[in-house]
Structure 1
Amino acid sequence: MLTIFVYFLPLLLFVIFIIWRLWFYKKTIDFKDFNPKWRSTLNKEVSFYKELSVTDRTRFEKELLYFFEDVTITGVKIEIDDTDRLLVAASAVIPLFGFPELRYRNINEVLLYQGSFNDDHQTEGDGRNILGKVGKGNMNRLMILSLPALRAGFKNENSSSNVGIHEFVHLIDMADGTVDGIPESLMQKQYVAPWLKLMHKEIESIKKNKSDINPYGATSEIEFFSVASEYFFNNPEKFQDKHPELYNLMKKMYRYSI
């Protein structure tokens, strides 16, 4: 018995170490790495950040640094700058801001393309109607975003669309191992049934042209979750006015306190 224990002890310790690294290990972030010039960019480009208290702005900035530490942002055949990187990171931080204990564990790199692309990730030719995509298969742990679409999502504060937030919400949906439009990794159980009820009710309204939510949200529960979330974060006042019941539920779901 002792021999078996000794044999499996290294494996057990390795498993414990991996779990610790994934869920409990916190990297040390030097806040001096935050460029003060970024604050003016965030104030200008990211309305979510602009509405935060001074204390929460500091936490938002730290979350940006954590994201930069974990995820590489690459321009594909294009030059990108700090503003572009900040917009990608802000897209990631916003949906999880109510959950300081959570970070993305299912992405390593974000690729920024010069425009829309097709299913084969080509930026020229026919069928280029994709603005964002979470990779699968050999593209696992990658995200692709159209740079113009990323910028546009933050440029118009009255818009209900934000491709960056949309794709990171897909990652949140994937975090529980099932992509189904139900973010069980952050949704408390008592909200699941009301969420399903409201989601299906709203999808029917979209199909009947009785909703201002992007029609793409009616294609599946998965897309509804992302489409509703980008609307919720990008234009919360309008979303609350148009969809008060859905807004109140999503506010609880995301621990949204602005």
Structure 2
Amino acid sequence: MLYFIIFIALLVFVGYVFYKMNSKKAERFPSHWHSILLEEVKFYKNLDLKEQRRFQDRMMQFLSEVYIDSVDVELVELDKILIAASAVIPVFAFKEWYYPTVSGIILYPDNFNEDFEFSHKSKSRRIAGVVGTGRLEGKMILSKKALYHGFKNSNDKRNTAIHEFVHLIDKMDDKIDGVPEILLENSYAIPWLKLVHDEMEAINKDKSDIRAYGGTKQSEFFAVASEYFFENPKLMKRKHPELYKMMASCFRVKV
């Protein structure tokens, strides 16, 4: 497994270097975005000035690497700010990071169904975000309503955009399976799986405050737990100390 992780890391590094050589230069961070981030993004607000500047640079680099478009909703400045912040937050501790499995973000006005229908006449509009596959490979679709809600309410431990970017991190080893091999040290893989299964069992027995969706699949548990970790870390540390410790180790940060 160690050799596999080294291979994946090397592959990501080579891909990142190649992309940097061929990507457009990041634009300058708009100065007025600083006050917006302070108002809207708690993670950014808690950083010191030096780290805030690094966060700004990472946002602009991300925005130079992907395109953001919208369907039936006007794309505004805050949309781009919140999407870029969502991309940076889970990988901020990593000095160099490139998302090789996404090239574009598509913003819908509201939740949508499996046929990507979002009008009020559409049935079963339960999906707030998805990492595309098949004809949508390389795309991420987000509900604008869910995107904004994720940064307005940290008490519910939900952030759809962070959830989907964590899926992209999980996908770095070519499969979304809840075992982020690029983040986990070799010795942590087995303890991580045991912890995941124990926590999922608690969720499904209604003995956990982790969102029920985290009990549906191993991959969803990792994404849901990541939302919790970045949205309300103090609560996770108190209620799920082992999980908090493991998440902090994965993301190499204590929030």
Deviates more, 1:185-194 or 1:226-235: 185-194
Residues 228/19 of structure 1: CA separation in 2 closer, same or farther (3 Å cut): closer
- Aligned counterpart, 2:53: 58
For 1:205-247, what per-residue CA distance to the aligned partner results, in whole angstroms no more than 9, with x for missing partners? 0011000001000001000000000110111111111111100
Alignment counterpart, residue 242 of structure 1, candidates 202, 225, 239: 239
CA RMSD of aligned residues (A): 1.8
Question: In structure 2, what is the Cα distance between the partners aligned to 1:196 and 1:234?
Answer: 23
Deviates more, 1:221-230 or 1:91-100: 91-100
* Within-5 A mapping of 1:188-199: 188-199=185-196
Alignment counterpart, residue 95 of structure 1, candidates 90, 108, 111: 90
- Aligned counterpart, 1:122: 117
In structure 1, runs of 5+ residues without a counterpart are 1-17
- Aligned counterpart, 2:4: none
For 1:9-61, what per-residue CA distance to the aligned partner results, in whole angstroms no more than 9, with x for missing partners? xxxxxxxxx98862324469877611010001110111011111211111111
Bigger CA radius of gyration: 1
Residues 114/19 of structure 1: CA separation in 2 closer, same or farther (3 Å cut): closer
* Within-5 A mapping of 1:150-189: 150-189=147-186
For 1:186-209, what per-residue CA distance to the aligned partner results, in whole angstroms no more than 9, with x for missing partners? 211111111111110000000110
Identity of aligned residues (%): 44
Contact 1:29 1:65 in 2 (8 A): no
- Aligned counterpart, 1:4: none
Residues 29/36 of structure 1: CA separation in 2 closer, same or farther (3 Å cut): farther
Question: In structure 2, what is the Cα distance between the partners aligned to 1:116 and 1:60?
Answer: 29
Instruction: Determine if the alignment matches structure 1 residue 201 to structure 2 residue 198.
Output: yes
Question: SS in structure 2 opposite 1:74?
Answer: strand
- Aligned counterpart, 2:30: 35
Question: In structure 2, what is the Cα distance between the partners aligned to 1:32 and 1:54?
Answer: 20
Contact 2:236 2:244 in 1 (8 A): yes
Aligned length: 241
- Aligned counterpart, 2:7: none
Question: In structure 1, what is the Cα distance between the partners aligned to 2:221 and 2:172?
Answer: 17
Question: In structure 2, what is the Cα distance between the partners aligned to 1:97 and 1:194?
Answer: 24
Question: In structure 1, what is the Cα distance between the partners aligned to 2:195 and 2:150?
Answer: 25
TM-score, normalised by the number of residues in structure 1: 0.89
CA offset at residue 178 of structure 1?
A: 2.2
Instruction: Determine if the alignment matches structure 1 residue 79 to structure 2 residue 74.
Output: yes
Question: SS in structure 2 opposite 1:149?
Answer: helix
In structure 2, runs of 5+ residues without a counterpart are 1-10
Instruction: Determine if the alignment matches structure 1 residue 254 to structure 2 residue 247.
Output: no
Instruction: Determine if the alignment matches structure 1 residue 49 to structure 2 residue 44.
Output: yes
Kindly provide the amino acid, as one letter, of the partner of residue 41 in structure 1. I
Instruction: Determine if the alignment matches structure 1 residue 23 to structure 2 residue 21.
Output: no
For 1:46-78, what per-residue CA distance to the aligned partner results, in whole angstroms no more than 9, with x for missing partners? 101111121111111111011100111112111
Instruction: Determine if the alignment matches structure 1 residue 225 to structure 2 residue 226.
Output: no
